[in-house]
Structure 1
Amino acid sequence: MLYSAMSIIKVEINYKNLLIAAIATGVVVLLFKLQTIITVFAVSFFIAYMFDPVVDKFEERKIPRSVTILVMMALTAALIVLLLAWLIPVAASELQYLSNNVANYVDSLFGFVQTSAAVFDIQLDVNTLKQHIGSHSSDYLKEIFSSMSSLMSSFSSMVSVILNIALVPILVFYFLKDFDKILAKMLEFLNTRFKMDFTGYYREFDNILSTYFRGQIIVAAILGLLYTLVLFIAGIKPAVIVGTVSGILSVVPYLGFIVGFTVSVILAALQYGDFLHPTMVIAGFALVQFFEGNFITPRILGGSLGLHPTAVIFSLMAGGALFGIGGMIIALPVAAFLRVLINQRSAQ
């Protein structure tokens, strides 16, 4: 049995294979060391990829790419500034509301714990629990402030983060300016290296990926607005923060719903201490999920990526575990390309 298995999987151990294994190992180690740089370049290239069709449309009308890119970046920056000018005061107000009511929320939580203990006939002294948590709260706060101060004191790390953020628009400009040339060079290299035409693969890959990413951003924005609206109607604070974060997390299947729903139900119970407001949150989120599953996602995305949600989650988690945010950005394109490759091979 062992012999038959070995006859199927034959690995020739020679200097060439050992060299290939050593180079592959070195590349993986190098990528681990360059996670930050990979993230900056991956984010920049992703943004350039998203906006390239717009630049191409204006280029067809004889407008120079550089002019289109600069105007588009200026408009995007202005839109971001206006959005932040509205969002920051609202978020600050909601955070202030939360900080002013932390004591009330803690009392409500202990009341809920005591009531639940009585229902299930559990012997629990809430006052002792309060004293225990209160006696250690200073230690918890010290640890939190210590971590924050050490993070803030790491000047070199802060400078690195600022520089990386500042590099993104510069890289986006150059990626967009020469996007078609970069793509042509890559396809030429692949066609020559592997002696096959990758152009057809790229067209299918580009169609799948562009539809998915642009559609996913639109879906996430719609869900963020709908979640925020549900929380406003239910009178839950902070509506904007929870709704926005839930929308952003919706790029990962079900994550935005799970986080937003859980946090919103807990806040509703703590803020009002009744069954009406949590029920309103549950009904609102259920309604949003119904429209998202039956109308929003099918119309905007359809089956564009062609990957099962579990495959999407695994790809994102694997990419994030290996190479951070940059890995998460690269993961789905790699998964989509593998799907295209498998489909093309199956059709042949």
Structure 2
Amino acid sequence: MKEANSYIINIAAFLLVGVLLVHILTNAQLILLPLAWALFIALFILPMTQWLEKKKVPRSAAIISVLVIVTAMIGLVLYILSFQIVGLLKDAPAVTNKLNEWILSLQEIAEKAFGITNETIARQVSNSLSGIINNSLGVLQNSLFSAFQTITLITVIPLYIYFMLYYRDLFYDGFLGLVKNYRTKTSDIISKVNNVVQQYMVGLMGVTVIIGILFYITLSLLGINYALFFAVLLAVFNLVPYIGVIIASLAVILYTIATTDSLFYPIAVLASLWFIQLVENNLITPYILGSQVRLNPMAALIAIFVGGSIWGISGMILFIPLLGVLKVVFDEFDELKPLALLLGSYKTQKRMKGQESSEK
């Protein structure tokens, strides 16, 4: 009876901690979100700053140099994309007219096949527009808040990155000082988490660049205008597993439908994007990222939806490596290894079982 009561108490405590954690993450978003981005970016550029420090470059100068180089590279990409975006905006009226023609054709097909009149469709559209108008103030408020958050992220993240890298030794020693009885274990976990996050970030960047190039080559060969913009869009949205690339692909396919006179090109684009995604999921990502932060699809989807509900698009991207970090931590404790197995992929579980059987 006592064991059952203690088990119920442990579950209740676990749920309470989970609710408090979600509450804190949601309400302290403006503080924690830039810290999370800064932490992952800092771990990503840490090897570059360490390399410069080994070359006798002062730590502050090394950090600033790497930040300037990374910012310049991002600025160059955005500058090149700006020309594509300007051209795309110029073509927007023609694209809109072509999509309207497709909608009218679909209306005629619906009227002939199902007896749905244009008046019914127009009434539904009118009702939808009235709903949009009624919610416009709320959307505007959310947009202003999102813009404020974006400006805050852009201005604060570089400062966080600088201080994290400059005072990393103090943070490390101070954290170990809080866990005096577990210094060796904690130091080992920090080292593993650091290596895993660095490998994940570098691997993710490599995967993004590779599939971006593949998308660009494919769209260029098919003669799709603004192939560079759409390739970057697809590669960036691919950072949100399973969902992001579907949304970006729909945008590309709709644009292809609106700018071509044959169904061959939309079908060819769809087939090409699907094939690249298939190659990326089964060959590129497993080879580059490996299985250290390899989560099973169900855990990844839950992380995406939970992250999206808490931190929006940033949460969809960040909660995958955060869950991977938790998996690494769970692997270090025998009591928590079942949770690591729940999060891990099937191949990872088979590998771990093989190791256990060989040890026996």
Where relative contact order (Cα < 8 A, 6+ residues apart) is larger, the structure is: 1
Distance, in Å, in 1 between the alignment partners of 2:150 and 2:251 is 30
Q: Please state how far the C-alpha of 1:201 moved relative to its aligned partner.
A: 2.1
Q: Please state how far the C-alpha of 1:94 moved relative to its aligned partner.
A: 0.9
- Which of 173, 185, 190 pairs up with 1:184? 173
TM-score, length basis structure 1? 0.79
Match of 2:310 in 1: 322
Distance, in Å, in 2 between the alignment partners of 1:241 and 1:143 is 34
**Which residues of structure 2 form unaligned runs of 5+?**
335-355
> Does the alignment pair 1:243 with 2:231?
yes
Secondary structure of the equivalent of 2:106? helix
Distance 1:183 1:110, change over 3 A: farther
Distance 1:31 1:270, change over 3 A: closer
- Which of 50, 58, 68 pairs up with 1:64? 58
Match of 1:338 in 2: 326
> Does the alignment pair 1:98 with 2:89?
no
Q: State the number of aligned residues.
A: 335
Distance, in Å, in 2 between the alignment partners of 1:330 and 1:170 is 19
- Contact 2:307/2:318 (CA < 8 Å) preserved in 1? yes
Q: How does 1:158-169 map to 2 (within 5 A)?
A: 161-169=150-158
Q: How does 1:176-325 map to 2 (within 5 A)?
A: 176-190=165-179, 192=180, 194=182, 197-237=185-225, 239-324=227-312
**Which residues of structure 1 form unaligned runs of 5+?**
none
Distance 1:203 1:259, change over 3 A: same
Secondary structure of the equivalent of 2:332? helix
Distance 1:98 1:222, change over 3 A: farther
* Paired-residue identity, %: 21
Rg larger in structure: 1
Distance, in Å, in 1 between the alignment partners of 2:104 and 2:219 is 24
TM-score, length basis structure 2? 0.77
Distance, in Å, in 1 between the alignment partners of 2:129 and 2:293 is 49
Distance, in Å, in 2 between the alignment partners of 1:49 and 1:34 is 22
Q: In the alignment, residue 7 of structure 2 is paired with which amino acid?
A: I
Secondary structure of the equivalent of 1:305? coil
- Contact 1:48/1:176 (CA < 8 Å) preserved in 2? yes
- Which of 101, 116, 120 pairs up with 1:124? 116
Match of 1:78 in 2: 72
Runs of 4 or more above 6 Å deviation: 20-27
Distance, in Å, in 1 between the alignment partners of 2:273 and 2:221 is 12
Q: Please state how far the C-alpha of 1:143 moved relative to its aligned partner.
A: 6.0
Q: Please state how far the C-alpha of 1:207 moved relative to its aligned partner.
A: 2.4
> Does the alignment pair 1:9 with 2:7?
yes
- Contact 1:216/1:301 (CA < 8 Å) preserved in 2? yes
Describe the superposition over 1:51-94 as per-residue Cα deviations: whole angstroms up to 9, x where unpaired: 11111122122221111111122222222222222111211211
Distance 1:217 1:171, change over 3 A: same
- Contact 1:105/1:271 (CA < 8 Å) preserved in 2? no
Q: How does 1:29-48 map to 2 (within 5 A)?
A: 29-48=23-42
Secondary structure of the equivalent of 2:204? helix
Distance, in Å, in 2 between the alignment partners of 1:21 and 1:265 is 43
Distance, in Å, in 2 between the alignment partners of 1:68 and 1:95 is 40
Describe the superposition over 1:134-186 as per-residue Cα deviations: whole angstroms up to 9, x where unpaired: 7669757856876676567x5x8755653442122122111111223323322
Distance 1:24 1:259, change over 3 A: closer
Distance, in Å, in 2 between the alignment partners of 1:138 and 1:204 is 53
Match of 2:103 in 1: 109
Q: In the alignment, residue 41 of structure 1 is paired with which amino acid?
A: L
